[in-house]
Every structure is written in structure tokens, then in C-alpha cells.
Structure 1
Amino acid sequence: MPTTLAMLRAFAAVARTGSFQRAADSLKVRQPAVSDAIRRLESEAGRPLFSRTRDGVHLTDFGRQLLADALAAVDAADQVDALLADRRPSLTIGFMGEAAGRRTSWLMKLVRDETNADITLRRYDYADPSCGLTSGQSDLAIVWPPLDDPTIRSLTVASDRRAVALPLDDPLAGRDRVEPSELAGRTWVVPLSEDRAWAEFRTPQAVGITDLRDMVMSGSIEETLELVSVGRGVALVSESTDEHYARANVVIVPLSGNIHCSTALAWRSADRRAVVRRVAEAALDATEP
């Protein structure tokens, strides 16, 4: 049976919402229509696209592989619809924590200048370092590399010094710089994420600290700083964290040495829409203020 756009829309909606009913609601159709579309796609593929569990539906490995191309097809169809109806394009930009503020404003201006699009901003936490790209919730994203997802392309737009978040009463809190070796034997607050490459880059081992007392998991930058402020541990962050997430009882101290992290503009590699390509090309040529 031929694969239809309606089937791909249903597949993308279930992947985005994690629910057949929520997917149906977003598409303004009945839930059995979504279930039938997924059943037909899985029959054509000869393997499941989702695993069904008590806490929702989740993409299988093959489902994740298929999603990138399905989203590209849906995005292209939406662009054609917008052109035929003479509508402005719409873009959702995902971002996370420390990648916000000045960089998000700069990117929004760049997108408006290049596309005249209606822009929606969507905030993400550590659970989704792709900031909605993998699930199809975002068209573009401001991310912290590295990402363990081969379907995503990225372009570095800024660099930042790595730093440590310390409680105000910590003996090192008054320093201008801290050597990583001085932080041995500490309890660390680290991100909780299924993206292994992303999470490992944000652990103390990534800057050469292997002597740890313990680790405490956190789901967001706000939770991380709150745990630091109450003395649960210290955390690896970026120096600019203090610009956007200042806490009265937390001090951000840069690490000594050439230890940096980056902020990147990211998009799905299978997304061939002209509007996304224009933004990527403009970002490549632009210099962030």
C-alpha cells in the first residue's frame, strides 16, 4: 500500500506527543484514525515503530531512524501549503537553559531577517538536549553540543568558558579561577539525560576530575543551581550562567586552562526546506554581537 502524507503526519504527531490520543487531538481527527495510520505504516515496514508502555509510547530504534525523513516530508508539505495559501512560514525554535538570553535574541533576529517567519520559542530541559529536534517539536534549536544523534546537524555560533558553580560559603568561592584538580573529592550535581554524549560532557570527568565523593542527578539548570545553593554539591556549568540564572547563594567561578563549551544552531539534516537552509547559511556568514 502506498505511504500517504496523512500516515506520516500521524506518525510524526505520535512521536511528538508520546500519545495516540494527544496526536489525534493535535491533528483534529479521531484516535482510531491515528491508530490505523500507524498500523498501516508498521505493516509496510514489517516492524514496530513504537513500543507501548504504561507511561506512554516511545519510538523504537527503527522509528527514530524513520522519523527524520518523515518529518522532512511533513515539513515540505507544510511549506507548500503555506506558499499556496500565501501565508508567512512558521518556525519553532527550541532552546535550553544557558543557551538562552542574548544568543536566543540574536538568533530570533537572524531568523526574522532571513525568513519573515512567525516564531515560537520553546524551552527544554536536560531530558531533551536536542531541544525538540529529534521529536519534531522544533524546526531549529539552540543547543549545547555534543549531541548523540546523527540525524542532527549543527553550527557553532558561540564559545564559552567552562566554570564551576559553588555555594557562597565554599572556600573557593572568592577565587578568580579554579584549577580542576582543586575540585577533587567533591559531590557533583550532574545532568540526568538519556543522551550519553551530552551528559558525559557535563560531568566532572570531562574536565579531568576523576576523584568524586558522590553524584546527585538534576533535570534542569534551575534545579542544578538550587541543589548547589543548599550545599548538595558543586556543578560544571558555563561562565555565562551567572548572566541568566543568578542565585544569591551561588558563585560561578571559571576553570583555569583552555576549557570551553559551545553553543550551536542545530537543525535536522533531512530538513531540506528553503527557510531552514537560509537560516543556516545566514548563521554561517554572521558574527554574533
Structure 2
Amino acid sequence: MELRHLRYFVAVAHEGHVTRAAEKLHMQQPPLSQQIRALEREIGAPLLLRHPRGVSLTDAGRSFLADAEAILASVERATVKARRTARGETGRIAVGFTTSAPFHPLVARAIREFRRERPDISFVLEENSSGDLLAAVRDERLDIAFIRAGLADPQGLAVEELLHEEMAAALPARHPLARRPKLALKDLAAEDFVLYRRSEGRGLYDVIIAACSAAGFSPHISQEAPRIVSTLNLVAAGLGITIVPASLSRLPLEGVTYRPLTGRPPFRVPLNLARRRDEASAATLAFIDRVRRLA
């Protein structure tokens, strides 16, 4: 039994007449009658009562019609869904990000605009370390990831730089340096630093250490924390200062004051996008394109 047999039967049942159904199906009446009789033989029961001026349904025919219509409707829904998925209009995108990435407005704006245009796309979000995020993209548990680090071991992945973000100092609110509107990195040389663990955020950690070295000092790290927000809580407790991407200064936290860092060259950290090189999902590719254009 094929789908065309169901379509033939439904057309005949709706028209109540084989000849009119054949015209609607753009076929001849004799082949249509043969197909209906073959269908009845396969089922093992008559579906139609033949009359001089048309046909009517048997009890078996009425039962079969309801199920045939449901099957055809399901096939139509599946076809439409597949076509929309192929066009990137429906589906699911799993997005990963390091702790600092979602504070940059690019990430939220890209998701918000994409969902407004394609409301049938759903997003799954996951926060993790750069290493774990890259492994998840590689293993297809995530589709893309926003990270701060580069990529040492590609293995089918590509990491592209979206933008560079200015850095800011986060100080305890009563710290003497908080009286200044701006700071140079060398102004922090004598301070205790609270940093995001390198194992959790290699890209951000390495950028900070390299920048301090270029400014002529090696930072004294008094505390390390597993998340950037945790470092800010330690700063609020007066345990040291830290350096964060400037977008985190939008995060109001009692006891913490943010100050921009000046200098030449500017102290910046990248925001990168990691993806699979062979990505084929139309929805994911469309979202990546949106992110690139916004960046």
C-alpha cells in the first residue's frame, strides 16, 4: 500500500463519484477504479458501495477514511516541517558560552533578533569553561560556543574572532584608586589580584597576565575563583581587585566599582565564535551569519 492509494481513496470518498474523483486527480477513470479495487483486495474488505450514479462508503470504508485522512495530514505536516527545517525556519540551536561572554550585548541581541524573525527556532543555552565548550561543539552536543580563548587543537572546529572588547578594573568601592575616573594598568601593580581560574577561562586569564607583563609587572594573585561573578564577589569583600571585560561593568554589584583602563595599545580581550567546520544545519548557519553581521 502506498500513499497514492490513500489519496485516491480519499478523493473518491469525498467526491462520491469515481469519474469526478479521476478528473480531480488528473487521471483516467478506469485506472482509478482498478486502484481502488486493488486497495480493497489488499485490505480484504469492500470500502465502497457502487451505485448507478456514484459510490458510498461501507462501514469499513468510513473507518478507513478517517485513518487515511489522518495519515495524509501527518505526512503533509512532516513535509512542511522538513522543508521549513531545510530553510532554517524551524529547529533547535544549542549555544554555549563562557561566564563572561553573555554579558556582551552582542550575544543577547543576536538571539533576540533571530528569534523574532524565526519564532519556531528554539535555543538551548549552556555555560561552561572554554575547554568543555569546545569538546561539546566537537561532539555535537552544542552547535556553537562564544569563548574568549583561541583554538590550539582544531580537530574539525573553526574559531573566528568576532570583536575585541575593552577591559575594566573592578575595585572595592572604598578603594583609594576608585576615586580616579580612569586607570592605567601599571596603577594596579601593587594590588592583590583576584582572577578567574586559568583552567576555567584560559583566554581571559592569559590576556590579563600578558597585559600586566607588558605593563612591567607580574600580578600578585591572592585568590582564584571558578566564575567571573565569583571574582567580583571576592572584590566586594575587599580581598583584592580584578580585571574584567568592560561589558561586565553593566552588572551592578554592591561594594564593587568599575573603572576603565587606558593605555597604548588599548587593553582588549577577544570574543570568539567556535563552530564545526562541516556544519550543515540551515538554522545554525543562519544564526552564525546573524552573529557575524551584528559583530
Which moved further from structure 2: 177-186 or 142-151?
142-151
Q: Secondary structure at the match of 1:169?
A: coil
Mapping of residues 200-211 of structure 1, within 5 Å: 200-207=205-212, 208-209=214-215, 210-211=217-218
Other-structure match for 1:233: 240
- Aligned equivalents of 1:238 and 1:85: distance in 2? 38
Please tell me whether the aligned partners of residues 146 and 201 of structure 1 are also in contact (alpha carbons under 8 angstroms). no
CA distance in 2, matches of 1:177, 1:248: 20
Task: Please state how far the C-alpha of 1:199 moved relative to its aligned partner.
Answer: 5.0
Partner of 1:83: 82
Structure ranking higher in helix proportion: 2
Q: Using a 3 Å threshold, how does the CA distance of structure 1 residues 218 and 128 change in structure 2: closer, same or farther?
A: farther
1: CA distance, partners of 2:130 / 2:227: 5
Quote how far apart the aligned CAs of 1:270 are: 3.9
Q: Paired residues, what number?
A: 206
2:257 maps to what in 1?
Answer: 251
Work out whether 1:117 is the aligned partner of 2:115.
no
Given the superposition, is the C-alpha separation of residues 85 and 236 from structure 1 closer, same or farther in structure 2, using an over 3 Å criterion?
closer
1:173 partner letter: A
Q: Is the 8 A contact 2:191 2:241 kept in 1?
A: yes
Distance 2:162 2:85 in 1: 32
Counterpart code for 1:122 = E
Q: 1: distance between equivalents of 2:289 and 2:239?
A: 44
In the alignment, what sits opposite 1:273? Answer: 281
Residues 221, 231 of structure 1: alpha-carbon distance in 2 compared, 3 angstrom cutoff: same
Contact 1:147 1:195 in 2 (8 A): no
User: Which residue, 69, 74, 95 being the options, matches 2:97?
Assistant: 95
Change (3 A) 1:126 1:157: closer
Equivalent position of 1:178 in the other structure: 183
Cα offset, 1:191, TM superposition:
2.0
Look up the match of 1:163.
168
Within-5 A mapping of 1:137-148: 137-148=141-152
In structure 2, what is the Cα distance between the partners aligned to 1:145 and 1:193?
Answer: 11
Q: 1:261 aligns with which of 266, 269, 276?
A: 269
Q: How far apart are 1:216 and its partner, in Å?
A: 1.7
The offset of 1:114, in angstroms, is 6.5
Residue 169 of structure 1: how far off its partner (Å):
1.5
Contact 1:146 1:197 in 2 (8 A): no
How much does 1:166 deviate?
1.0
- Percentage of matched positions with identical amino acids: 20
Q: Residue 106 of structure 2: SS of its match in structure 1?
A: helix
The change in CA–CA distance for 1:186 and 1:105 in structure 2 (over 3 A counts) is same
Alpha-carbon spacing, 1:149–1:174, altered in 2? closer, same or farther (3 Å):
farther
SS in 2 for 1:97: coil
- Asked if the contact 2:114/2:287 (under 8 Å) is kept, the reply is yes
Contact in 1 for aligned 2:98/2:127 (Cα 8 Å):
yes
Are the structure 2 counterparts of residues 205 and 165 from structure 1 closer, same or farther at C-alpha, using a change threshold of 3 Å? same
Structure 1 residues 153-179: Cα deviation after superposition (integer angstroms, max 9, x where no partner): 233334321111111111111222211
**Cα–Cα, structure 1 residues 127 and 229, in superposed 2: closer, same or farther, change >3 Å?**
farther
For residues 110 and 85 of structure 1, what CA distance do their matches in structure 2 show? 19
Instruction: Specify the structure having the higher radius of gyration (Cα).
Output: 2
Deviations, residues 214-254 of structure 1 (Å, cap 9, x unaligned): 342110011110111112221121112121x3211111111
TM-score calculated relative to the size of structure 1: 0.60
- The residue matched to 1:173 in structure 2 has which SS? helix
Return the TM-score normalized by structure 2.
Answer: 0.59
Q: CA RMSD in A?
A: 3.2
- 2 CA distance for matches of 1:287 and 1:199? 22
Structure 2's unaligned 5+ residue stretches are 1-80
Aligned counterpart for 2:195 among listed residues 179, 182, 190: 190
